[in-house]
Structure 1
Amino acid sequence: MIFDKVKKFDIVFDSPEIDSPPVFSSGDVVSGKVVLELGGESKIESLKLHAEGFAKVHWTESRSAGSSAAYTQNYSDEVEYLNRREALLQADNGELTVLAAGRHEYPFSFQLPEETLVTSFEGKHGSIRYWVKVKLHRPWCTVRKIKKEFTVIEPIDINTPALLAPQAGTKEKNARVWYRNFGQVCVTAKIDRKGYTPGEVIPVFAEFDNATSRSIVPKAYITQTQTFIARGTMKQKRAVVATLSGDPVGPSRRETWHGRAIKIPPVGPSILQCRIIKVEYTLKVCVEVPGTSKLCLELPLVMGTIPLHPFGSRTSSVSSQYSVNLEWLRMAISEQPEPPPDYSSVVTNEEAVQNAANTNNNSSCPEEDLSEDLSGILGRPLMAYVQEFRFRPPPVYCEVDPNPQPCNMRPRCMTC
């Protein structure tokens, strides 16, 4: 019996979370080490690393060729996304490398392709996988192999004009059973945008117009469609991931949803860049009419990985608020200000005589400099002063004139 001196042979990724598998994107550097622990001195021919990434599909269909004959048709295809080879330990000139007993570590590092990869995926008829495989070659021994997978998630940013655009539609049909017509059903639905991330809530705005003689039941679904393509043939698998039910709508009545919420469960992101595997999402707003088929309105969805920026939804509101501020400025400052009212119209004769006497008694008041330094005012924008004084209260009323006249000016006679 041959004693195997290899006690441990493992791949360890450089990941901050040891228990969870590492996650990468296109252009990231995948690094780690190969741990080799030997129970005694051993001769090694080579230690080779192979990084691979493939999208593969496969399914089988049985077809009938007659009453008793049948044949099976296989469909399969694959797309390569990563293929990198590296020698971690290689003997020179055909000589063997002798390793002492104990622990040996061989670090590795490689960069994923800069071009867009495809998110890892596991489906019924196909998968998208990435892994690192290491082979240990020794003389007179079988090749030892280890393989460890890692996850690739390609970012999908929903903060793009295409994914922020609202989605809406209208659909109608005549409800019929055999030759009898029950009337027409119309569905109109709208959502705020096309791109969402798992965990978000989609507010559904819809209107259900029931012109039939039967009650209808409005519902909304989020569906996932997995599409597998091979040899020009397509295989699909659909699943409902979230459901929203409404109240029945009676005959000749109309029901409106003012933002009914349907929550997105934890699902994988959309896959739209792969040639043979696609993962797509749809919001279906349907009406169930007893005795006939459903009426469904489909609105496309894209499940992203980068959520909506906090300021992304505020862009329009900020711009509209700024325009409102400017409108307020135009309304507050008139083109031709009105002249102030005459002094005699707001002050009685007795008060005017008393004010004139007080002015004559204050003959020793100093001269005031009426010149003002406008350099600081002109150096600041007008909107800053508008905002500074916009929310201040009016000045407190006082009998003392805040702008007294110089002493060398004679008071106006009110009896003239």
Structure 2
Amino acid sequence: MGLKDCQIIFDNPYNTYYVGQTVNGKVEVTLDSPKKIRGILIKFKGQAGVQWVIEESKTNNEGKTENERIELVGDEEYFRIQYYCLGGKDNDAIELPPGKHIYPFTCVLPPTLPSSFEGQYGHVRYTVKVILDRPWKFDHETKVAFTVLSPYDLNMNPSLKEPVKITLEKYFCCCWCKSGPLTCVIAIPKSGYVPGEMLPILAEVDNISNVDVLNVSFQFQKVVSYHSQFPRRETKKDVHILERVQVGPVAARDSKTWNQNMALPPLPPSNLMNCSIIDLDYELLIEVNVSGFHTNLTSKIPITIGTVPVIAAPTAPPISGDNVAVNMDPQHNNTPQLGWVGPQKGRLYPSIPSESEFGTQSIYDKDDNQYTRFNSNAQRYSPMYPVYDFSSTQTQQN
């Protein structure tokens, strides 16, 4: 058989790095018999891609209308680094004895990379591939993904610290009569947040009308815009509801006030800076649902997601295997901790659910135009985004 196993192991157990950091790791090749190779090639790659299909009606030469399927695509490459950690393409064959062989690798990430992202119609991915270059035979390949984060300091934009307040008002008509207004005031303390933070919502409903309010709904949404390049420039929007809460009802000629908190899940930072084919935005959708055949009241508040919270604190420390959950300011008990939040509130977990999971081991890779074998115990693409645990107990830093 020869090759028994080939694993890519990062020095960071979360496979997550900030731009500008150095990615270090090792390749572990296990053989059960001697094997001849020309070398071991390491390939680092960062790229983005979008793809979707549309149908258009066209008239053929016979005057009949036909539906034509058009594939819209877009691609960007951010960096590509490759080198041999053993041997080389022009070298003579090397015979590796049975057993485990370890070869370290390293790569410095460029400082202008966009954050990793996985969506329904596109992605921003960073991968490392190990190729056992064999003379006159098919190469053995192993490929895994790692997450790259581009820091977004919310404190750099003063407007994100300002409170936001909107007022929705509507008059209802019944025959020749006009009722008093239905007024809904929504306020949030700021528009910039980090994952793991609570989004506090103040809602005041003053219903002087003769129409009942069924509920007031708040939806935290992710809005992704994909931009194709070929065969033409088009944009496709994809909206996902991430969190939803609602309050109410409010009877006619009644008033109520609520203070409602919404927990923000692990998310990539807004904008995907330095990526021109995918735009990422977040918003709070407010909808006042009323009874009868009347139109509901709706409005939106743009929300910005960053990696450094709106507090007087230094930039978030680099993620590493020994520094996953740290207090940013040991002098203040309410200072958040950087870490990975699991399903139970108040606890730090070593992993979080990914946006996209691929369990198969052999998948056709469009970038390389071939099938690629992946580690059996690793998901192909599983972005992991840092969050802040605002409920953690204060710990003393050494």
Alpha-carbon offset, residue 189 of structure 1: 2.0
2-side partners of 1:177 and 1:56: how far apart? Answer: 53
Change (3 A) 1:106 1:180: farther
Identify which range, 297-306 or 167-176, moves more after superposition: 167-176
Structure 1: give runs of 5+ residues left out of the alignment. Answer: 313-416
CA shift at 1:73, angstroms?
A: 1.4
Deviation at 1:140, TM superposition (A): 2.6
Instruction: Name the counterpart of 2:22.
Output: 29
Name the CA distance, whole Å, in 2 between partners of 1:130 and 1:102.
Answer: 30
Identify which of 155, 160, 163 aligns with 2:160: 163
Choose from 109, 125, 129 the match for 2:125. 129
Offset of 1:280 from its aligned partner?
1.8
Summarize the alignment of residues 196-215 of structure 1 with structure 2, pairs less than 5 Å apart: 196-215=193-212
Query: Is 1:144 aligned with 2:129?
Result: no
1:46 aligns with 2:39: yes
CA shift, 1:144, in A, is 1.1
Name the CA distance, whole Å, in 2 between partners of 1:12 and 1:311.
Answer: 33
Question: Larger % of strand: which?
Answer: 2
Q: Which residue type is aligned with residue 96 of structure 2? A: L
Deviation of the 1:270 alpha carbon: 3.0
Per residue, is there more helix in 1 or in 2? 1
Q: By how many angstroms is 1:77 displaced?
A: 0.6
Q: Which whole-Å CA distance do the structure 2 matches of 1:125 and 1:179 have between them?
A: 50
Match of 2:219 in 1: 221
Using a 3 Å threshold, how does the CA distance of structure 1 residues 75 and 85 change in structure 2: closer, same or farther? same
Change over 3 Å in CA distance of 1:92–1:112 after alignment to 2: closer
- Decide which of 42, 65, 72 is 1:75's aligned counterpart: 72
CA distance in 2, matches of 1:110, 1:204: 44
Contact residue 283 and residue 301 of structure 1 kept, 8 A:
yes
Does the 8 Å contact 2:116/2:268 carry over to 1?
Answer: no
Residues in 2 aligned to 1:276 and 1:101: alpha-carbon distance in whole angstroms: 47
The corresponding residue for 2:383 is: none
Mapped contact 2:47–2:77 kept (Cα < 8 A) = yes
Listed one character per residue, the Cα deviations across residues 59-109 of structure 1 (whole Å, up to 9, x for unaligned) are 111223367521111111122223111121234864333333333222111
Aligned to 1:353: none
Structure number, greater radius of gyration: 1
Unmatched 5+ residue regions in structure 2?
315-398
Asked if the contact 2:22–2:107 (Cα under 8 Å) also holds between the matched residues in 1, the reply is: yes
Deviation digits for residues 195-253 of structure 1 (CA, Å, limit 9, x no counterpart): 12233222222333434321123232222212212133221222222223222333344
TM-score (norm 1): 0.65
Question: What is the distance in 2 between the residues matched to 1:192 and 1:51?
Answer: 42
Aligned partner of 1:297 in structure 2 is 299
Please state how far the C-alpha of 1:147 moved relative to its aligned partner.
0.3
RMSD, aligned α-carbons: 2.8
CA distance in 2 between counterparts of 1:196 and 1:93 reads 53
Structure with the larger RCO, 1 or 2 (CA within 8 Å, 6+ apart): 2
SS at match of 2:160: helix
1:70, 1:238 → 2: CA distance? 27
CA distance 1:68–1:29, change in 2 (3 Å): same
Give how far 1:266 is off.
1.9
Q: Percent identity?
A: 29
CA separation of 1:93/1:278 partners in 2, compared to 1, >3 Å: closer, same or farther? Answer: closer
Rounded to whole Å, the distance in 2 between the matches of 1:186 and 1:208 is 6
**d(CA) in 1 for partners of 2:89, 2:290:** 78
TM-score by length of 2: 0.68
Runs (4+) off by over 6 Å = 176-181
Counterpart of 1:139, as a letter, is P
- Residue in structure 1 matched with residue 270 of structure 2 by the alignment: 271
Q: Alignment partner for residue 10 of structure 1, among 3, 7, 11?
A: 7
Matches of 2:127 and 2:174, distance apart in 1: 56
> Any conservation in 2 of the 1:187–1:297 contact (CA below 8 Å)?
no
Q: How many residues align?
A: 302
Q: Distance in 2 between matches of 1:73 and 1:152?
A: 32
CA distance in structure 1 between the aligned counterparts of 2:264 and 2:286, rounded to whole angstroms: 18
Q: Is residue 191 of structure 1 aligned with residue 183 of structure 2?
A: no
Please give the secondary structure, in 2, of the residue aligned with 1:156.
coil
After superposition, give the CA deviation of every residue in 1:108-158 in whole Å (9 maximum; x if it has no partner): 11100022x222222111112111011111123211111011111223333
